[in-house]
Amino acid sequence: MTDSDRLQAHPGYWPSAWPVECGGNRRQKARAGRLDAGAGTAEVVFRNTGRWNVMAIERDPGQWFVGGTMAAFTGPAPYGWLEKIEPSTLEPMAYSGELPCGEHVWCGAILAHANGSIYSVNGSFLHRLSPDCELEAETRLPVNRAHNGLLALSDGSLLTKDLRLEGQGPTTLSRIDAETLQLMEAPLELPEGSMGRIAADAIPGGDAVYVPGTEHLWRVDVGEKMRIVEGWRPRYREARGEFGLAWDSCLSGGSAWLMDCGDIQSVREIFSVNPNGRFERPPKARLGWRRPAPWSGAQRLLRVGLSDGRVESLVPFGAEGGGIIAPPVHVPELDRAVCWDSLRGGLAGIDTSGSGLSVAWTLPVRPSMQPVVFPDSGELVINDFTEGGSDDLVVVDLESGELIDRVYTGSHIANGMFLSPGGERDIFYCSTLGLARVSWH
């Protein structure tokens, strides 16, 4: 795997190793090169921003941007924001100011587009900004709900969708011209709601986009127009009271990899009101992500064949009432998938080399974030929210499950946000209030 391999698959982005969340539209979360955490000593730079830090992306080498929102569940109206940071100190070099979000409180997304601009989706707004974080254009999206994720497709167009839980009606996909911020066609309605972010893969003449619905995984092909692929809608969820909804998928090894049981009670609370996440009275403990799951089943890993739609599932831990707030990862070079249970605890490496799935190792940690993998050195980086209330980073050997290193980030709030690899044996960490850079020397 090389950086150039990933860039060739994503021509809509600026030529960067990490221009978008998860490193690319397949959401493989992989960075070329080696971390070799065991051969160095970790150094942490931490900054309390007072904001909800969602993700970090790279444009030019060493040119890093952080995007996010405000955890303003009551009181003054929330807003989105973009910041250009000095990567070694995390100090701001440029700031967008307050970007309207339709008063929705939810984690949006940013990306570095092939045209040089930075795009941000937050709530019900899309913004185009310069590399100096100056606002170039903005548009209100056609659906007044929080939007979840933003991708650039092969032709440079932008694709985003609103987030809807079970019983909240059909989810809408919006395709937008990156230059004008105008809709390129009428929004496409799926037959189901959708919680997880979209993933995509380049195909002849366009892109295949995979959307996790409330019961099925859907494929939407995008060429001149968006169209739902008829006859391909694998059902991943059958027992509604036993399992919850899926978050994002990882496209790898000819399959889509998902975990269900994601619409935990705090997510249901946020999307029970409109604007999403805005309450008349402080919600307090209602938004705690470790509240008991609203279903009885154990956490599952799901593999869906992209060609035949065959669904396989594995229960790695077995504890009832499992749940997650981030999706899994699959590393084809090592025939290894990684999944976890955020509510009940546990991290598992899954052997995918045979015809089935089997647990290769487990660790007693409690992850919640979007991880990063280094296939060249066989390392996984993910968080562990400890019983003592600190959100540490852990580095794990993907093949053996050995815990290579544990680093205290300085954060005491865990959520489902994104880790980003810096390319210099370093990781950027984003969470509510806290932004950190961990580097190994």
Burial of 231 (0-12, 13-18, 19+ CB in 10 A): exposed
Closest to 431 measured CA to CA, from 145, 55, 131, 115 = 55
Find out whether 36 and 440 touch, Cβ atoms under 8 Å: yes
Find out whether 195 and 161 touch, Cβ atoms under 8 Å: no
> For 302-337, what is each residue's pLDDT tens digit?
999 999 999 999 999 989 999 999 999 999 999 999
Here the tokens at position 31 are: 């960075």
Query: What is the chain's Cα-based Rg?
Result: 20
pLDDT at 80: 98
Closest to 12 measured CA to CA, from 125, 129, 117 = 117
pLDDT at 3: 35
Which strands form 432-440's sheet, in the order they lie side by side? 92-95, 81-85, 64-69, 42-58, 432-440, 426-430, 419-421
In Å, what is the CA distance from 1 to each residue of 33, 182, 249, 271?
A: 9, 36, 20, 39
Helix, strand, coil % over all residues of the chain, rounded to 5: 5, 40, 50
Percent of the chain with pLDDT over 90: 93
Is 385 a residue whose pLDDT tops 90? yes
Is 7 a residue whose pLDDT tops 80? no
Cα–Cα distance, 181 to 422 (Å, whole number)? 30
Cα–Cα distance, 139 to 102 (Å, whole number)? 11
Cα–Cα distance, 94 to 178 (Å, whole number)? 22
Is 136 a residue whose pLDDT tops 50? yes
Here the tokens at position 434 are: 């806290």
Is 97 a residue whose pLDDT tops 90? yes
Is 16 a residue whose pLDDT tops 80? yes
Residue type, 292: P
- Of the pLDDT bands very low, low, confident and very high (cuts 50, 70, 90), residue 6 is very low
Q: What is the DSSP letter of 12?
A: T
Here the tokens at position 94 are: 């440029």
Q: Give the chain's count of helices (H) and strands (E).
A: 2, 31
Sign of CA dihedral 87, 93, 96, 97: positive
> For 255-282, what is each residue's pLDDT tens digit?
999 999 999 999 999 999 999 999 999 9
Instruction: State the chain's mean pLDDT as an integer.
Output: 95
> For 288-302, what is each residue's pLDDT tens digit?
888 999 999 999 999
Give all strands (DSSP E) within 341-431, no chain letters.
347-351, 358-363, 372-374, 379-385, 391-397, 403-411, 419-421, 426-430
- Of the pLDDT bands very low, low, confident and very high (cuts 50, 70, 90), residue 360 is very high
**More confident of the two residues 239 and 408:** 408
> For 212-244, what is each residue's pLDDT tens digit?
999 999 999 999 999 999 999 999 998 777 999
**More confident of the two residues 11 and 140:** 140
Which residue segments constitute the domains of the chain, with CATH numbers given?
A: 3-440 (2.140.10.10)
Tell me whether strands 109-112 and 42-58 are parallel, antiparallel or unpaired.
unpaired
